[in-house]
Amino acid sequence: MFEDRKLLVTGGTGTIGNSICQYFNNNGCEEIYSTTTNLDKVKSDQKYINFKEINLNNIENLDLDEIFEFDIDYLVLNAGLNRDNIFLRMSSDDWNSVINVNLNSSFHLLKHFTKKMVKKRFGRIVFISSVVAHTGNPGQVNYTTSKAAISGMVKSLALELSTRNITVNSVAPGFIQSNMTDKLSDDQKNSILDRIPMKKLGDSNDIAKAVGFLCSENANYITGQTLHVNGGLALI
C-alpha cells in the first residue's frame, strides 16, 4: 500500500508510534524514520526504523536541515508528553514542556517538511490528537490545551495546502492500552471502562490502521478532518 513512499513518525518508541511504524512497514513502506529522546529506548525489533535522537522540547534550537536532510511523503506527528496535575498546582515547567512537545514541535517540523511536500505536490500529514481535546479532562489542562490546539492547526493547514495535493488530518484516540494509560490506577481504569460503550481499551493497532487509512489512496479526498477512534466513548 505504501510502496516507494517515505514516512516520518515522531515518538516511534512509544506504544502508538511503534504500532504505526509497524503497520506501515507491514504494508510496503520501506523507508521509515522516527524520533526518540533516547536511542536506548529503541527495541531490537525496531531496527528497520531510522531513528533520530532529538529532544522535541528543544527543537527550536536544532538545525532541522542537518537532522532531516531527506524529504518524506507521510508525516505523522505522534510524539506526546503528559505532565498531569490539577490546574492550581500545575507548574509553568509542566505547562511549557507539554505545549512545547505536543504543539510547538509540530510547528517547526511542519515548517521544515511542508516546503518539500509543496514542491513535490504530494503529502499526507496526520496528527495524533486525543479524545480529551474534545471533552476536557480534569488534571490535564496543559495536555488537553495542546491537543485541542491541533484541531485549529489541522483545519487551517488543510485549507492552505489543499491545492498542492497535501492532506492534513488528525486521529483522536480514546483510551488506548499504552505506556501512557499504563500509568493509570486500577480504579481509574475501571471508571474509564464503565464509560466506554465497547467495554474495552483500544489497541494501538486500531490507531495505526486509522493513520494508515488517512495516508492511503482511499483517503485522497479527505482533508481537515478528525477521525475519532474511541470505542464510542465520545460521539463528536
What is the closest distance, in whole angstroms, from the C-beta atom of residue 8 to another protein in the complex? 20
Active site residue 143: yes
From residue 202, alpha-carbon distances to 172, 173, 207, 227 in Å are 12, 8, 8, 14
What is the closest distance, in whole angstroms, from the C-beta atom of residue 14 to another protein in the complex? 33
160 near another protein, judged by CB under 8 A = yes
Q: Which is nearer to another protein, 153 or 172 (CB)?
A: 153
d(CA 152, CA 114): 17
64 near another protein, judged by CB under 8 A = no
Among residues 23, 33, 74, 143, which one is catalytic?
143
Which residues in the 105-144 window bind another protein by CB under 8 A? Answer: 115, 118-119
Binding range to another protein, per CB under 8 A, among 78-86, 139-147, 160-168, 207-215: 160-168
Among 44, 61, 163, 185, binds another protein (CB under 8 A): 163
From residue 168, alpha-carbon distances to 85, 132, 215 in Å are 31, 20, 10
Among 108, 112, 155, 164, binds another protein (CB under 8 A): 164
In 3D space, the residue among 1, 219, 22 whose CA is nearest the CA of residue 9 turns out to be 22
Binding range to another protein, per CB under 8 A, among 24-32, 73-81, 159-167, 208-216: 159-167
183 near another protein, judged by CB under 8 A = no
Task: Indicate the pairing of strand 74-77 with strand 123-128.
Answer: parallel
What is the closest distance, in whole angstroms, from the C-beta atom of residue 158 to another protein in the complex? 13
Please state the φ and ψ torsions of residue 73, each to the nearest 5 degrees: -100, -35
Query: Residues in the site for another protein, rule: CB under 8 A?
Result: 115, 118-119, 160-161, 163-164
Q: What amino acid positions are annotated as catalytic residues? A: 143
